[in-house]
Amino acid sequence: MRYLKFITALIAAITIFPAIPAFAADGGGFENMWIVLVFKRGGPVMLLILFSSIFALGLSLERFFNLRRHKVLNDVFMHEIMKLASKGEFEKAIKMCKSVDLPMSRIAQAGLLRGKFGVLEVERAIESAGAHEATLLQTNLRVIGVVATIAPMLGLLGTVTGMIDSFNAISLEGVGNPGAVAGGIAEALLNTAAGIIVAIMALGSYHFFQNRVDKLIYEMEEVSLRFVEEILHATTEYARKNLETVRLESEV
């Protein structure tokens, strides 16, 4: 929660604080905020860039909170599950997995459900469930990557429309009115800068969360291997006890 407060405060600082001088100079008019002026001068394409930046920010915040380690791996939960699995109490372990909504709990549940069919079936079930959960962990990352790709193109589109406006002004008023030409050039440059800024932020966010996903998948693989070892130990012990029981009965 403290991270959310920090991000909110940072966005507020970037957006509001630079506008304070404009507020003081003009009686606090909202239309004089620097960010409003930028988007006015940027033209209609700037609205698309703004929407894409807000969209990427929302997806980044969603991934930030859902890719925290305790949302994927819970050490206390896995310790209890492994303890039950090592004792061969698969039914209790399955009920515990169903009560916890975590990627690792679903992987463990898939393995436990195949426990009576042998270790090979457990490994296959865990591998299949792990691949599915790894795909789910990458949810929305591709969309952030798409925003990183599209944002510079939107900036280029805004550049083109701004230059078109400049040439239209030249055709109508000639080169004697530099103010008319400057408006189109300003629109072009603002769109270029905004598109590049959004692309940099989205691309950085994409690689940051992709790296986090890779680390979580690696940890999930390690935990899964230990989990399979516990099940193997339980099934081996169960088979040994059954063999001893059969041998004693045959001797009697």
Rounded CA gap, 218 and 225, in Å? Answer: 11
Separation between Cα atoms, residue 14 and residue 50, nearest integer Å: 15
Is residue 207's pLDDT more than 60?
Answer: yes
DSSP string, 141-188: HHHHHHHHHHHHHHHHHHHHHHHHHHHHHHHHHGGG-HHHHHHHHHHH
| Local confidence band at 83 (pLDDT 50, 70, 90 cut-offs) | confident
φ and ψ of 67, to 5 deg: -105, 15
Q: Which residues contact 148 (CB under 8 A, 6 or more apart)?
A: 56, 199, 202, 203, 206
Domains of the chain by residue range:
2-69+138-206, 73-136+218-251
Residue 45: CB partners within 8 Å, gap ≥ 6? 154, 155, 157, 158, 161, 191
What tokens does 81 get?
């599950």
Which residue type occupies 241?
K
At 213, list the tokens.
Answer: 């996903």
Contact status, residue 231 vs residue 121, Cβ threshold 8 Å: no
Residue 5 has pLDDT above 50, yes or no: no
Q: Which of 7-11, 89-93, 110-114 has the lowest mean pLDDT?
A: 7-11
pTM above 0.75, yes or no: no
Residue type, position 208, single letter: F
Please give the average per-residue pLDDT across 61-74, as a whole number.
88
212-249 confidence digits (pLDDT tens): 999 999 998 888 888 888 777 766 655 555 444 434 44
At residue 145 the predicted structure's pLDDT band, cuts being 50, 70 and 90, is very high
